[in-house]
Structure 1
Amino acid sequence: MKYSLILIFALLFALNLGGGNFAASFVAARGGGIISHLKSSILFLIFAVAGAVILGGPVTRTLSREIVASRWIDLDVCLVILIAATGSLFAANRLQLPQSSSLVTVGAIVGAGLYLGKVNFRVFAYLLPFWILLPVAGFFLTRTLGRMIYPPRKGNFWIYEKVVSHRKRLKTFVILASCYNAFACGSNNVANVVGPLAGAQIVSPLLGLALLAPIFGLGGLVFPGMLKTAAEKIVPLGLLTATLLCLVSGTLMLLSSSLGIPQSFVMVKMSSLFAIGSLKAEDRAIWKNPLIVKTSLAWVVMPVIATVVSYLLIGGWRALSA
């Protein structure tokens, strides 16, 4: 029975994760009106699987045994982590809000670990600065580079001339850059669902990544609403800014994966998107956008909710089992 429940929630979790990461990966191409939803979904599936299998190991190890040692993650704890994380992400997906998936996962693991008294706070303290600094770095790096191309002026007009003369090539490059993003998020975020399973020794990290990455990749088809939120409701994108978004966020995400840092690709990508919005509108205007305020609040609240829910669930589960 427990294995069946774990399988169900693992599949649901992977789909919900995929929905948010698909939105973040292809917001540039879709926001720029370059590619259809179906084609972008297929490309996301292919490259997310490749990223997970090739580079997903370090983050999986962090989530499966370093925040809470694997000897404390039994079937009950694994199930509670999946339930808490899936519930938080599902709520965000239903609200069509881009969500901080890795923080939700870590929150669920920490919640269970707090109840058990087994959280490795040294590891948590090491991870915490990256969760803050990488989105901030994405914002300021995108804004700094974005100032070179926006607004149009005499000093950068040659760039726009090149865009007009090579528009088809640039469209192709934006699609390739979006695939680069899909690879990057697969290398990091598929581990969110595989980590608890590997910690409970239900599946090996590599096999888990290979089996669950395709389910993760299908999330773009199941939850298309968040891509519309990111691509249409926050800020429209041109070809140049779309390319810039992909390169900055994908590179930062691959850096996180190589270091074994569970990092929210959605947060990094949306921070870069906010930077573009701040260039196209007055800074105060972009931060008054109600959707941006709502999204930012969700990034803070949902991981806390996942932590509390996980703590309460594991406590209740242990009480009923006693």
Structure 2
Amino acid sequence: MIGALLLVGFAVSLFVGFNIGGATTGPAFGPAVGAGVISKLMAGALMATFFFVGAWTLGRRVVNTLGRDLVYDPGIFTIETSIVVLFFIGGALFVGNYAGVPASTSMTAVGAIAGLGVAAGELNWAVMGEIAVWWIVAPLLGFWVSGVVGRYFYPTINRWIAIDGSDGDLLTVDRSGAVPIPTSGPNTTRREIVGVVVVVAIGCLMAFSSGTSNIANAIAPLYGAGVDMNLLILLGCGAVTIGALTIARRTLDTLGNDITDLPLTAAIVVAVISSGIVIGLSAIGIPASFVIIATMSIVGLGWGRATRSITVSEGVRGEKKPNVSVGALTAEEPGEESPDIGEEDPADTPSAAELFNPETTGRVVLMQNVVPILSTVGAYATFYVLFRFWW
């Protein structure tokens, strides 16, 4: 009987890992895919590789936190309770992935475990409170830092980087020799290659960070029930790989294209800010809301860029001023000066609607709150009934 239950537990854990791959690939590589740097297939392969490295190394610490420290008595993690917890985690994440919105796996998993802990009277509220505070602070930090960069500093950064997509393929394959050799495209510039390397490398770093924090969301309940951690990490990463190569295509579209139009410079800015916050949280042992931080960084940058498209028609003392655009993000060519705020040519700047999609943003924010609530409330209600009327 226990063997059959354990197989069910493995199956549900794999389902959770599959949905984690779908939910986290978008924030890590959505900017690179949206900027046309890499394909969705390549994004999935890179996600799988670096997620595994993060899970096998630092991810063990977070597994121990969720499987042991979040509740006073780890004994509440039986095979039966672990299956129920994983069911709510996977089910809630699937709702978000089906809607094309990457939900926070950390919030969803911790919510389900917290539902079990509250129903059993074993939740460590001190640990839960510390995690919850950082979940509020970190996304706001990502949004406002990105917003400020988009509003005030992006033109200067764009002038420094000044990487526009060249015509033709970025890379080609020289098949003249015995071994095919990748080479740069005929119109590819050195600055463009450097920018591509940077944005992909940062995406890989984000995938690594995701592995350190998110592997626990798929396997921590079973680890608390006594299953070997190494086996669980291997199984979880395998499921993440499948999710990254399949269902993640929907979230890559949402994060790379639908929220805001991301040129290569913007992709680099988003990746640097969000990965920096995630790494900082991992360093202090907090299960990071990877998806929320990255998503809000993208939203913040799009909002900051859009707010530069304000029309001013009246002067301070009432004299009539000519209409001027407060310039959004122009794609300056190398060597061009970036216009100061209020000096941009309206004809050269995209509209706010082109830079920031409030409708899609609202859908993303709504679903990223609904999904964790589903897992938390569902787990609590289920365990409340089971503990009092069944077990």
TM-score (norm 1): 0.91
| Corresponding residue number in structure 2 for 1:307 | 376
Judged with a 3 Å threshold, the aligned counterparts in structure 2 of structure 1 residues 45 and 145 are, in CA distance, closer, same or farther, namely: same
Is the 2:162–2:265 contact (alpha carbons within 8 Å) kept by the matching residues of 1? no
1:203 Cα deviation (Å)? 2.3
1:316 Cα deviation (Å)? 4.1
Equivalent-residue separation in structure 2 for 1:144 and 1:195 (angstroms): 37
Judged with a 3 Å threshold, the aligned counterparts in structure 2 of structure 1 residues 233 and 10 are, in CA distance, closer, same or farther, namely: same
> 1:131-150 to 2 correspondence within 5 Å?
131-147=135-151, 149-150=153-154
Residues 174-227 of structure 1 show CA distances to partners (whole Å, capped at 9, x for unaligned) of 1111111111111111111121111111223x4422432232133111212111
Equivalent-residue separation in structure 2 for 1:174 and 1:119 (angstroms): 40
Within the alignment, does 1:172 sit opposite 2:188 as a pair? no
| Corresponding residue number in structure 1 for 2:282 | 257
Is the 1:55–1:187 contact (alpha carbons within 8 Å) kept by the matching residues of 2? yes
Which amino acid in structure 2 is aligned with residue 291 of structure 1?
T
Equivalent-residue separation in structure 1 for 2:283 and 2:6 (angstroms): 31
Which amino acid in structure 1 is aligned with residue 57 of structure 2?
I
Structure 1, gaps ≥5 residues long: none
Within the alignment, does 1:2 sit opposite 2:27 as a pair? no
| Corresponding residue number in structure 2 for 1:17 | 20
1:139 Cα deviation (Å)? 1.4
Equivalent-residue separation in structure 2 for 1:72 and 1:157 (angstroms): 53
Structure 1 stretch displaced more, 282-291 or 7-16? 282-291
Query: What is the root-mean-square deviation in Å for CA atoms of aligned residues?
Result: 2.2
SS at match of 2:365: helix
Equivalent-residue separation in structure 1 for 2:202 and 2:119 (angstroms): 42
Q: Percent identity?
A: 28
TM-score (norm 2): 0.76
Is the 1:52–1:210 contact (alpha carbons within 8 Å) kept by the matching residues of 2? no
Equivalent-residue separation in structure 2 for 1:93 and 1:26 (angstroms): 16
Within the alignment, does 1:219 sit opposite 2:243 as a pair? yes
Is the 2:146–2:304 contact (alpha carbons within 8 Å) kept by the matching residues of 1? no
Equivalent-residue separation in structure 2 for 1:287 and 1:293 (angstroms): 11
Structure 1 stretch displaced more, 308-317 or 66-75? 308-317
Is the 1:188–1:253 contact (alpha carbons within 8 Å) kept by the matching residues of 2? no
Greater helix proportion = 1
Residues 124-147 of structure 1 show CA distances to partners (whole Å, capped at 9, x for unaligned) of 111111001111111122233344
Which amino acid in structure 1 is aligned with residue 66 of structure 2?
L
1:318 Cα deviation (Å)? 4.2
Which amino acid in structure 1 is aligned with residue 205 of structure 2?
Y
Equivalent-residue separation in structure 2 for 1:105 and 1:182 (angstroms): 18
Is the 2:20–2:93 contact (alpha carbons within 8 Å) kept by the matching residues of 1? yes
Equivalent-residue separation in structure 2 for 1:252 and 1:61 (angstroms): 22
Judged with a 3 Å threshold, the aligned counterparts in structure 2 of structure 1 residues 82 and 158 are, in CA distance, closer, same or farther, namely: closer
Residues 114-164 of structure 1 show CA distances to partners (whole Å, capped at 9, x for unaligned) of 1111111111111111001111111122233344543x3xx6674255777
Equivalent-residue separation in structure 1 for 2:368 and 2:292 (angstroms): 8
Is the 1:235–1:277 contact (alpha carbons within 8 Å) kept by the matching residues of 2? yes
Equivalent-residue separation in structure 1 for 2:45 and 2:288 (angstroms): 24
SS at match of 1:302: helix
Within the alignment, does 1:114 sit opposite 2:138 as a pair? no
In the alignment, which of 280, 284, 287 is matched to residue 305 of structure 2? 280
Is the 2:31–2:262 contact (alpha carbons within 8 Å) kept by the matching residues of 1? yes
SS at match of 1:235: coil
| Corresponding residue number in structure 2 for 1:59 | 62
Within the alignment, does 1:182 sit opposite 2:186 as a pair? no
Equivalent-residue separation in structure 1 for 2:377 and 2:157 (angstroms): 51
Which amino acid in structure 2 is aligned with residue 159 of structure 1?
W
Equivalent-residue separation in structure 2 for 1:215 and 1:156 (angstroms): 38
Equivalent-residue separation in structure 2 for 1:263 and 1:158 (angstroms): 33
User: Highest relative contact order (Cα 8 Å, sep 6+), 1 or 2?
Assistant: 1
Greater strand proportion = 2
Equivalent-residue separation in structure 2 for 1:317 and 1:94 (angstroms): 29
Within the alignment, does 1:76 sit opposite 2:93 as a pair? no
Structure 1 stretch displaced more, 283-292 or 308-317? 283-292
| Corresponding residue number in structure 2 for 1:29 | 32
Equivalent-residue separation in structure 2 for 1:36 and 1:251 (angstroms): 24
Which amino acid in structure 2 is aligned with residue 129 of structure 1?
V
